[in-house]
Amino acid sequence: MAETFAAARALIQENICSLEPETVDLLNLVGRVVAEEICAPWDLPRWDNSEMDGFAVKSADCHTFAKLKVVGYIPAGAAAEGISVATGTAVRIMTGAPIPIGCDAIVPIENTESDKESVTIKRPVQIGDYIRFCGSDINAGEVMISPGTILRPAEVNLLASFSRLEVLVHRCPRVAILSTGDELVAPGEAVGPGQIIDSNGYSLAAAVSEVGAIPILLGIARDNIGSLTEKIAQGLKADVFITSAGVSMGDLDLVCKVLDGAGVKQLFWKVDIKPGRPTAFGLKDGCAVFSLPGNPVSSMIAFEELVRPALLKMMGQTKVFKPFVKAALTKPLYNETGRVRFLRVRVVESSTGLIAESAGDQNTGILSTMIRANAIAVLPADRTEFVAGEEVDIHLLNPEHVLDAGSAKVGNS
Ligand code: AMP
Ligand code: MG
């Protein structure tokens, strides 16, 4: 019996967990998920410092057009020791330099006129002006990054600010990828009659890399027990093992049989989705095994909808399912499959919001429709008719690929 789409996703998520932490250096942290609580070891800023190039003054001295004697200079990187601001004096100071004793405000250079000996203040000054106070950003001991945080350049900046050279993050899964089929030849090899170039291995490796996991290409297994047994033994050493093809009803569809023989406990064999029905999921020790259909479009969509969220969970992420966005259909659609239907669509930004038009022939043999598509429309299994203008659930393949207002119009036929 086939699992529903929702049940298949739930079964996968329940049966995998985030991988153990590893230490990673500052340069390789972006996109990784933190596995420790990181507290600030000191205040940020570490000391009171100037927010502007200008003059350190006593605010009480600074009535408009006050003239002060310049008694010193503190460039960025210099210490303020031995320099102080007495009544009637000012110290020239650069952005980031420490505030000298006696100073309670900074006057930006653009609000002054000065020569070597003196400075005239042209605007009123308030106590505290343009001083970045010690700890005003982050206090020593404060939790600045919590477990589960996905690191972005901003967090990397913060870590570098505190000289954190290494962080504990969840390990990325090593994902073994196996193409199966007697008809397959590797890209670059001579193609004989009836032979097909193994494109799935590479598109799955690309999809794995895009998520941030580590692909390991195992090449091609032939449709016989010996070849499959050998390659499957290799694949089961990885954290995740993805096979393509050999899982439908053909005489030579032996993948699940050999996985069974290798001790993989299958949690499901089929999912009520189109495309992607013959997708199986199983477990062997620490390895999650996904057997995807051979058809390139089906394998890519099954990866997107079922495997990708699993890899994200293993990498420590908690929001692993792509959020749906809504887009209005440009034409009526039918889903008479009784399964969740994934349609390859083009989502276009229009004046009324997002609209979705079919990316072309939805036959799963048509790869070019996948190329034209920037999103997948997810139609529920329990409805058959969808009218033009109706908003449906959309998974954007890449949010940055949403197209600008183009030819598509709601209700266009
Ligand atoms: P199967 O599931 O073995 O019946 O394969 C379904 C279809 O996908 C067949 O037309 C295969 O030739 C094709 N196919 C299988 N594996 C690959 C692959 N690695 N790359 C491209 N096409 C494939
Ligand atoms: Mg086959």
Comparing C-alpha atoms, which of 106, 124, 234 is closest to residue 174? 234
- Count Cβ atoms below 10 Å from residue 182 Cβ, excluding itself: 15
Distance from residue 267's CA to the centre of ligand 2 (Å): 22
**51/294 Cα distance (integer angstroms):** 61
Confidence (pLDDT) at 1 = 78
Looking at the DSSP assignment, which residues form a beta bridge with residue 204?
Answer: none
Ligand 1 atom nearest the C-alpha of 220 is 19
Out of 177, 180, 182, 184, give the residue to mutate to test ligand 1, the one with the largest number of ligand atoms within 8 Å of its CB.
Answer: 184
**247/253 Cα distance (integer angstroms):** 5
Distance from residue 296's CA to the centre of ligand 1 (Å): 7
- Which ligand has the nearest atom to the CA of 181? 2
pTM of the model: 0.92
Looking at the DSSP assignment, which residues form a beta bridge with residue 38?
Answer: 145
Prior bond of 275 cis (ω within 30°): yes
Among 3.30.300.340, 3.50.50.60, 2.40.70.10, 2.40.340.10, what is the CATH number of 325-404?
Answer: 2.40.340.10
Out of 244, 251, 292, give the residue to mutate to test ligand 1, the one with the largest number of ligand atoms within 8 Å of its CB.
Answer: 244
Side-chain-side CA neighbours of residue 174 (13 Å): 11
Distance from residue 198's CA to the centre of ligand 1 (Å): 8
- Which ligand has the nearest atom to the CA of 222? 2
**199/221 Cα distance (integer angstroms):** 14
Same topology for domains 5-18+172-314 and 325-404, yes or no?
Answer: no
**94/111 Cα distance (integer angstroms):** 14
pLDDT in tens, the chain (413 residues): 799 999 999 999 999 999 999 999 999 999 999 999 999 999 999 999 999 999 999 999 998 789 999 999 999 999 999 999 999 999 999 999 999 999 999 999 999 999 989 999 999 999 999 999 999 999 999 999 999 999 999 999 999 999 999 999 999 999 999 999 999 999 999 999 999 999 999 999 999 999 999 999 999 999 999 999 999 999 999 999 999 999 987 777 899 999 999 999 999 999 999 999 999 999 999 999 999 999 999 999 999 999 999 999 999 999 999 999 999 999 999 999 999 999 999 999 999 999 999 999 999 999 999 999 999 999 999 999 999 999 999 999 987 777 776 544 454 33
**Contact (Cβ atoms closer than 8 angstroms) between residue 88 and residue 79:** no
Q: Which residue has the tokens 């209005």?
A: 328
Among 3.40.980.10, 3.20.20.70, 3.30.565.10, 3.40.50.1820, what is the CATH number of 5-18+172-314?
Answer: 3.40.980.10
Q: What's the angle, vertex CA 90, arms to CA 71 and CA 111, rounded to 5?
A: 135
Contacts of 220 (CB under 8 A, 6+ apart): 178, 179, 180, 181, 184, 185, 186, 198, 201
Among 3.10.20.30, 3.90.105.10, 3.40.50.300, 3.40.50.10490, what is the CATH number of 23-43+143-170?
Answer: 3.90.105.10
Residue nearest to atom 16 of ligand 1 (CA): 294
CATH number of 49-132: 2.170.190.11
Q: Which residue has the tokens 């529903």?
A: 4
**246/229 Cα distance (integer angstroms):** 13
Comparing C-alpha atoms, which of 307, 304, 185, 179 is closest to residue 243? 179
Confidence (pLDDT) at 39 = 98
Confidence (pLDDT) at 168 = 98
Locate the domains of the chain by residue range: 5-18+172-314, 23-43+143-170, 49-132, 325-404
Looking at the DSSP assignment, which residues form a beta bridge with residue 349?
Answer: 354
Confidence (pLDDT) at 403 = 77
Q: Which residues' Cβ are closer than 6 Å to ligand 1?
A: 179, 181, 183-184, 196, 198-201, 244-246, 248, 250, 293-296
Distance from residue 221's CA to the centre of ligand 2 (Å): 10
391 burial level (CB within 10 Å; 0-12, 13-18, 19+): middle
**Contact (Cβ atoms closer than 8 angstroms) between residue 372 and residue 332:** no
